[in-house]
Amino acid sequence: MTTIELAADPYPIPIDPGSTALVIIDMQRDFLEPGGFGEALGNDVGQLRGAIAPCRTVLEAARAAGILVVHTREGHAPHMADAPPAKVSRGKPSARIGDPGPMGRILIRGEPGHDIIPELAPAAGEPVVDKPGKGAFFATDLDLILRTRGIATLLVCGVTTEVCVHTTIREANDRGYRCVAVGDACGSYFPEFHRVGLAMISAQGGIFGWVTDSAAAAGALA
């Protein structure tokens, strides 16, 4: 076991690459490109684009280090029997989940909008976990994948910081994983939510985990 030290808030964390996975949350066209779910909710999708290059930095470092990379996608089956009406009917979006849009049906598996953006396309063999909820553990086999590989520590990045990244880190923390959010590789439609979301993870001595950045994570894995 080789242990490396990763600079992070609230204090440096020792990492064993052999039991560490990179989890990239929902870097999908539906959230990052015009005409998808994010824009239908009234958001400025351009706010998320700053996370792409840092995600790529960590992704390339993780691949070079040979650590497990897991991608997640939020979405629903075409029949939408897995889409709770409470989620579908909420708010006053310009288009609802399942409605047709320029990238196909909004947030539906198999549609172009559901794909991960080309910059971060999964490589052959990297698990892609499709999730119907905000958290990546709910109604998925993510926990099985991680435990089968002996994973204890998660580097987590993606979108959005305060919704799916946060929910996943909270779920993972309760399941006993050590979570490190890669701050600049996360993004939110709301800069204030991003800042506070990250602060909430590392506050109180790391109540949910740690926060690092892409340069530190890539440097530690090199």
- The structure tokens 């990179």 sit at 22
Q: Provide, rounded to whole angstroms, the least separation between the CB of residue 72 and ligand C5J.
A: 8
Instruction: With contacts defined by CB under 6 A, name the span among 50-58, 111-119, 155-163, 178-186 that binds ligand C5J.
Output: 155-163
> Cα Rg for the chain, rounded, in angstroms?
17
The verdict on 74 binding ligand C5J (CB under 6 A) reads: yes
Q: Is the dihedral of CA 171, 9, 178, 217 positive or negative?
A: positive
Q: What's the chain's length in residues? A: 222
CA distances to 43, 69, 146, 182 from 95, in Å: 13, 32, 35, 31
By beta-carbon proximity to ligand C5J, the closer residue of 171 and 220 is 171
CA distance 213 to 221: 12
The verdict on 33 binding ligand C5J (CB under 6 A) reads: no
Concerning whether 55 is annotated as a catalytic residue, the answer is no
Beta bridge partners of 187: 159
Beta bridge partners of 21: 68, 154
By beta-carbon proximity to ligand C5J, the closer residue of 74 and 171 is 74
CA distance 170 to 164: 10
Q: Which of residues 169-208 bind ligand C5J (CB under 6 A)?
A: none
Instruction: With contacts defined by CB under 6 A, name the span among 46-54, 83-91, 112-120, 160-168 that binds ligand C5J.
Output: 160-168
The verdict on 163 binding ligand C5J (CB under 6 A) reads: yes
Concerning whether 157 is annotated as a catalytic residue, the answer is no
Q: Are 105 and 20 in contact (CB under 8 A)?
A: no
Concerning whether 134 is annotated as a catalytic residue, the answer is no
Q: Are 150 and 176 in contact (CB under 8 A)?
A: no
By beta-carbon proximity to ligand C5J, the closer residue of 126 and 193 is 193
Q: Are 131 and 140 in contact (CB under 8 A)?
A: yes
Catalytic residue among 30, 115, 130, 131: 131
Considering only 47, 153, 160, 214, the residue that binds ligand C5J (CB under 6 A) is 160
By beta-carbon proximity to ligand C5J, the closer residue of 154 and 163 is 163
The verdict on 39 binding ligand C5J (CB under 6 A) reads: no
Task: Quote the tokens at residue 112.
Answer: 């172009």
Nearest CA among 47, 10, 33, 25 for reference residue 207: 10
Considering only 9, 26, 111, 213, the residue that binds ligand C5J (CB under 6 A) is 26
Considering only 55, 69, 70, 159, the residue that binds ligand C5J (CB under 6 A) is 159
Footprint of ligand C5J (CB under 6 A)? 26, 31, 74, 134, 159-160, 163-164
Write out the catalytic residue numbers.
26, 131, 164
